[in-house]
Chains A and B, each alone.
Chain A
Amino acid sequence: MTTNITTLVSSLDRRHFLGTGALFILLPVLPDILPGVTLGSITRGVLFGITALGLALLIRHTMLVSFGNMAYFGLGAYAAAFGATYLQVRSAILLFVLAIAAGTLAAIVVGYIISSHQDIYFALLTLGFAGLVHALAIGSELTNYSDGLSVRTELARPTFFGAELPVEVYELGIYYLAAVCLVVLLFFAWQIITSPFGRALQAIGQNRQRATFIGINVRRYVWAVFVISGLYAGVAGGLFALLELHIRPGNTLSVFRSGELLVMVIVGGFRTLLGPIAGGFLITYLLDTVRFYTDYYYTVTGIVLLTVVYLLPDGIVGTLIRRSQTADGKTSRRWLSDGPAVVVDSAKQALGWVKFW
């Protein structure tokens, strides 16, 4: 089954990404159609999609679970906040770069330490580091304890290339920046998976010992993919900082958030590329917006997760792909020929499945 999906993925081409890109250009229309959905919440969906995608890259082949990827997200966000608060940096792009650098650097350091460990120890180490970072952020005056730091300088939003933009334009700008990052990182992820690097990761996941025997430096590969997941998280953290403009430990660094991230990945389907993104959107929607409609949004989220665990182990998108594949030979070839339409279609199906509309 794994092989089928990877074959599937490798037969995707540029048109699919353009298709996905087209979809994202249209999303900002949603707030005008749907009540309760703001551009901010859609942007959050995008950036958690990015973070989930990064985590999925780590899990999908190596089956190593990280309980602490939000630490890199949070560190990225805080780096941007530091830049604005302590260094008076006004440029949005520069803050963004700071965030990516911080997240990636942290992942390099932590990854180096943990990459030779396996399974539950790996997972618990990621948890340990996440908990440590969270505790330090809450307890430190530098991060202004639990009140957090602002990403604005003197109440003014960061500037794009020196220009101070009106609020609506800025928000739209951040959304498109996020969407562009998503498409680019999606492409990047695809490249990784279909490359020799990806195949090495696959080998590691299937049988770690055998991988070592055939000469793969397991530790290096694990470290590398961990850093990549940290980079994705850092990108998302920077976008989050630019979006929210105020960073607090509760919504960025808490260990529970890392758990939610894992849920996004699994619910979407960690063996696919669109799955984690869809998962990011879905879970963000459930936790952000559904809580305005019912007090019991946790139950809804829990049931979604349990449904996936028991009935849809490949995740929502994963199951859809598998279904469309085994149905009949013709259907699977549609992927090859009808590119963008099929991507858009599937995405709609995946989203519609959970009554997003």
Chain B
Amino acid sequence: MTGLIPGNMLEELFVQTLNGIYYGSILFMIASGMTVILGILGILNLAHGELYAIGAYTTTSVLGYVVGISPPLSTPFGTAAFVFLVISGCFVASLLLLPIGAIIERVLMKPIYDRHELYQLLATFGLLFVLTDAIRFIWGERPVSVSGVYSPLSFSAIPVGEFQYPFYNVLVIVTAFALFGLLLYFFSYTKYGRIIRATAINREMATAIGINQNRVFTAIFALGAFLAGFGGAIFVPPTAANLDMGTTPLILSFVIIVIGGLGSIRGAFAAAMIVGLLSRWATWLYPQFEIAAPFAIMIAILLFKPEGLFGTWSELS
């Protein structure tokens, strides 16, 4: 029944690696929002998981509409259009997080910047509670899903040797890499991005050269919220949105950004890929270790290379 053993093993290794990259892509998109806010504002946003959930819930509403209006999938044009509509749908749904993030920053965070970090943490924790109930109030208690998005997309599968690989997974991977590229480009090579990093590293000097720190902070928090929401948006089509969904991504985000380096986008990406790959290889080879693995790695990093893989930068060092 099985062919050449080595060949099969190799194929399975390849697919499990792809799975690892897929999971890593999801993890990166989830963690990127947290690391941006932490790196530039120095705030650990505990409401991150709920912002992610809001992105997911909003997406179910938006994509429900999208599925209704999209052209049939039978033609290549149809498929391409559908893919475009799905990604834009996720994007548009996440845009809701921009004003939400901005309001949170202005109303909740600004008044307490000069207080001890503990209070900023607790403010986001209080926000977590309130947002959970807000989601329940708007979308109800039952899990909400988008039918008609994942199934059609998974039909067009890509053959990998004897295996088939769902198209949606590939889409997610491509999106994550694109996002990584964009963020990196923005923060390292554009003027505005450089200015923002300067603000983070030295606030007094930044103000001295005329940068409006308030605006920058609001914009960054909004961006972080958007990224969190986008992670949720991309995540939800295969599964469903439910009220508990924010807890695990919140905790995993912590783990990822610690391993990668607090505030580092490169670090978040690398760490997400590593955790993704190791988790999937563990599932394949040694399932018992699956949930515990990320924490074990996190502890190891904190003990032996506490600044993370790519180092911690700005206010935190």
A and B touch in the complex (CB under 8 A): yes
- A124 in contact with B295 (CB, 8 Å): no
List of A residues within 8 angstroms of B296 by Cβ: 132
Q: Are B133 and A296 in contact (CB under 8 A)?
A: yes
A259 touching B125 in the complex, CB below 8 Å, given contacts A63-B116, A132-B295: yes
Q: With CB as the reference atom, state the residue of chain A lying closest to B302.
A: A125
In the complex, which residues 258-310 of chain A have their Cβ closer than 8 Å to any Cβ of chain B?
259, 262-263, 266, 295-296, 298-299, 301-303, 305-306, 308-310
| A298 x B129 contact (CB < 8 A) | yes
Asked whether A303 lies within 8 Å of B130 as measured between CB atoms, the reply is yes
Interface segment, B14-22, B59-67, B250-258? Answer: B250-258
Chain B residue nearest to A124 (CB atoms) is B258
Cβ proximity bits B120-143 to A, threshold 8 Å, 1 near / 0 not:
011101111110111011000000
Are A125 and B291 neighbours in the complex by a CB distance under 8 Å? no
Q: Report, as a range, how many residues of chain A touch the other chain.
A: 35 or more
User: B288: CB under 8 A from chain A?
Assistant: yes
B-contact bits for A56-86, CB 8 A (1 contact / 0 none): 0001000101000000000000000000000
B118 part of interface (Cβ distance < 8 Å): yes
Complex: how many Å from CA A124 to CA B307?
Answer: 12
Chain A: minimal CB distance from B260 (Å): 12
* Interface contact B254-A127, CB-CB below 8 Å: yes
**B119 lies within 8 A of A313 (CB):** yes
Q: How far is the CA of A121 from the CA of B130 in the complex (A)?
A: 27
Q: Which residues of A contact B9 (CB under 8 A)?
A: none
B46, A128: Cβ atoms closer than 8 Å: no
Tell yes or no: A27 within 8 A of B by CB. Answer: no
- Determine if B68 is an interface residue (Cβ-Cβ < 8 Å): no
Tell me if B247 counts as interface (CB < 8 A to partner A).
Answer: yes
Is there an interface contact between A131 and B127, defined as CB atoms closer than 8 Å? no
Q: Which residues of A lie under 8 Å from residue B209 when comparing CB positions?
A: none
Once the chains are docked, how many angstroms separate the CA of A67 from the CA of B134? 25
Judge if B262 is at the interface, Cβ distance under 8 Å.
yes
Chain B residues whose C-beta falls within 8 Å of the C-beta of A306 in the assembled complex:
108, 123, 126-127, 130
**Contact present for B291 and A138 (CB under 8 Å):** yes
**Measured between alpha carbons, how far is A117 from B302 in the docked complex, in Å?**
9
Give bound CA distance, A151 to B258, whole Å. 37
B160 proximal to A (CB < 8 A): no
Residue A135 CB within 8 A of the other chain:
yes
Q: Is the CB of B130 within 8 A of A266?
A: no
B112 to nearest A CB, angstroms?
7
The answer to whether A313 and B126 touch (CB under 8 A), given A121-B306, A138-B291, is no
B111 in the interface (beta carbon within 8 A): yes
Contact (Cβ within 8 A) A128 B295 = yes
Interface of chain B residues 248 through 303 with chain A (CB within 8 A): 251, 254-255, 258, 262, 288, 290-292, 294-296, 298-299, 302-303
A-B contacts, 21 of them at CB < 8 A, read A113-B303, A117-B306, A120-B44, A121-B302, A127-B251, A128-B258, A128-B302, A131-B251, A131-B298, A132-B292, A136-B292, A266-B122, A302-B128, A305-B125, A305-B126, A306-B108, A306-B130, A308-B122, A310-B112, A313-B115, A313-B119
